Structure 1
């Protein structure tokens, strides 16, 4: 909220929240709690976009995922959620792609503008150190899916000109990688 406030943006002015997945560390900012204990939507006018698989798993978690999908994180926003199956071209230059891997419904976001492209691979490529396709996190629910998806997406996007965006990396906000995995450009934290 502080970042929005610094830019002069009010929560009710947000039209879309693109959710790569709904683990608690990604979804906590969608709801708030009133003094009487009632939960409410922070972005009350936004469509919350998530893969159908992720939404269904959040509502009915399995034995492994139940500790990260909490009802208080989705009940107040349920009427705002819009789901997609495999891919969604949300707006010109904004595409969401279901990958699975980190969670059953995990998705990545591809952003394009003219010749510029950035991809947010979220938690299947959480830091620049996870370039080796075999390096997955211990909290990936479907690690083989992460490996196969990361391999396919690297073949597509490791071209030396596509930005890879991070929110878990301690060193970089974004990097460009060539086919050999060398950093051709970067934006430091």
Structure 2
């Protein structure tokens, strides 16, 4: 299990499952000869994408960023179409840290697409229940509204199975929210209309989680946005904004989807200063 420590804040990556999605869709209009030099692709034109939540521990609180693809939520067709090779083992990961799902205090959802939100609920006695019953779940107001009222495009990724059982736990915000001292969420839009980023600061250290504005290290170029993005120009604008912020702070950029790196520090020229690689079994 990889760990990043900044000040009194500890970040641990949990096992949330893995998907293999179309590389062309993940890099949008970028030609394959360019993106495939930066991120491996298989013979089906799919790239490996982790869905690993980050457990942030600070001030005695257990705060989860994203929740993984869950377990037992997909039928055979969905498993095939979404390239799900392994489902979530978050509960097992928490036990390795001496924790239960009941110990999670807050969950930060940058957005609520199925590959981030399936881990919020699970089947028990033919009924969907909350996986983290004691947690406050925070997402943007715009995201929560679309989650419950998806349009013709978004209904394939916003599932009622992922929100109905946890709706009483949800707290929303408009533009920004201070979760606790040193942890903030900021609405960006772009990938989805309600998409947000998470900023962590402790002592002199900063961590930026750009979520699906920059799902992997290979997406660092502000122009390399996903075909899945609802508002690509908004994605580009906010990638520039938060990359510049992070680089000005000598920040760590952390990843939920990257199959190779958990965190990277870049300088303003794009050179890697420090990195935490994912331990591959």
Tell me the TM-score normalised to structure 2 length: 0.66
Pairing 1:46-65 to 2, within 5 Å after superposition: 46-65=135-154
| Counterpart for residue 277 of structure 2 | 188
| Counterpart for residue 135 of structure 1 | 224
TM-superposed CA distance for 1:74, in Å, is: 0.1
Out of 159, 162, 169, the residue aligned to residue 80 of structure 1 is 169
Gaps in structure 2 of 5+ consecutive residues: 1-90
Between the aligned partners of 2:267 and 2:152, the Cα distance in structure 1 is 39
Q: How many residues align?
A: 188
Between the aligned partners of 1:171 and 1:160, the Cα distance in structure 2 is 24
Between the aligned partners of 1:33 and 1:170, the Cα distance in structure 2 is 28
Of 85-94 and 1-10, deviating more is 1-10
Between the aligned partners of 2:134 and 2:258, the Cα distance in structure 1 is 30
Match status 1:163 vs 2:252: yes
Between the aligned partners of 2:164 and 2:180, the Cα distance in structure 1 is 26
CA contact (8 A) 1:118 1:165 kept: yes
SS of the equivalent of 1:55 reads helix
CA contact (8 A) 2:206 2:249 kept: no
TM-superposed CA distance for 1:172, in Å, is: 0.7
| Counterpart for residue 78 of structure 2 | none
Out of 100, 112, 133, the residue aligned to residue 10 of structure 1 is 100
Distance of aligned partners of 1:160 and 1:81 in 2 relative to their CA distance in 1, 3 Å threshold: closer
Tell me the TM-score normalised to structure 1 length: 0.97
SS of the equivalent of 2:248 reads coil
| Counterpart for residue 120 of structure 1 | 209
Q: CA RMSD in A?
A: 1.0
Match status 1:95 vs 2:179: no
Deviations 1:148-176 (A, max 9, x none): 00011112112372000012112210000
Between the aligned partners of 2:160 and 2:134, the Cα distance in structure 1 is 20
Gaps in structure 1 of 5+ consecutive residues: none
Between the aligned partners of 2:119 and 2:163, the Cα distance in structure 1 is 11
| Counterpart for residue 15 of structure 2 | none
Between the aligned partners of 2:111 and 2:249, the Cα distance in structure 1 is 27
Of 159-168 and 79-88, deviating more is 159-168
Deviations 1:2-55 (A, max 9, x none): 2111111111111100000000000011101113x2111111111000000000
Between the aligned partners of 1:67 and 1:153, the Cα distance in structure 2 is 28
Between the aligned partners of 2:95 and 2:119, the Cα distance in structure 1 is 14
Q: Which ranges of 4 or more aligned residues in structure 1 deviate by more than 4 Å? A: none
Between the aligned partners of 1:3 and 1:145, the Cα distance in structure 2 is 35
CA contact (8 A) 2:207 2:246 kept: no
TM-superposed CA distance for 1:117, in Å, is: 0.7
